[in-house]
Structure 1
Amino acid sequence: MSKNAVSAPIEKENNLGLTIVLFLFSMALFLGAIYSLAFLTLDNPWPMAVCLGLFALAFWIPQTILGRSDSAGES
């Protein structure tokens, strides 16, 4: 049996409370992006700009700042 087959615990895990708070924050950004589309008209393009910004932040923050984006070199 190889050394890599054994599952090791992941370091830097968040506790349940912090995970729920981070999930709610990301979901609020995502739902805010969707809600901003309710105000979109052909005369006012700013709701679409807000939608794109919030949508990008809803995915960028968890994946880069909060995530383990530097884990590609781990064995």
Structure 2
Amino acid sequence: MAENAKNRPVENENPLVGNVIIFVVMMALFLLGLVLVSWLDFTTVWPMAALILCFAGAFFIPMTFLGRSDSGADHRR
């Protein structure tokens, strides 16, 4: 790995600012979910619909935009 200059060390994968932004967005989704659970009374549909959207966002944002799903083959060699 040292002979390939394109490979960066692991500690440079995610800068601090990016990690802080990701944390703030995910924490906002979590806190919004807590507020929506407090409004959930099974007579209106919108709190549960918003909870499902929060779950989808919390699941797909890290997996789709932040993940490196195509880099697995690089580490197996």
Q: TM-score range by the shorter chain?
A: 0.7 to 0.9
Q: Equivalents in 1 of 2:35, 2:69: separation in Å? A: 29
Aligned to 1:67: 67
- 1:55 alignment counterpart: 55
The one-letter amino acid paired with 1:49 is A
Q: CA RMSD in A?
A: 2.2
- For normalisation by structure 1, the TM-score amounts to 0.73
Aligned length: 69
User: Whose RCO is larger (CA < 8 A, sep 6+)?
Assistant: 1
Unaligned regions of 5+ residues in structure 1, if any?
Answer: none
Q: Which runs of 4+ in 1 moved over 3 A?
A: none
Query: Contact between 1:33 and 1:52, CA under 8 Å: does it hold in 2?
Result: no
Note the residue ranges of structure 2 that are not aligned, 5 or more in a row. 2-7
Correspondences of 1:14-53 after superposition (within 5 Å): 14-53=14-53
**Deviation digits for residues 41-67 of structure 1 (CA, Å, limit 9, x no counterpart):** 121021011011112201210121112
**Distance in 2 between residues matched to 1:26 and 1:60, nearest whole Å:** 11
Contact 1:40/1:47, CA 8 A, preserved across alignment: yes
Q: Distance in 2 between matches of 1:71 and 1:9?
A: 14
Structure with more helix by fraction: 2
Q: How far did residue 34 of structure 1 move?
A: 2.3
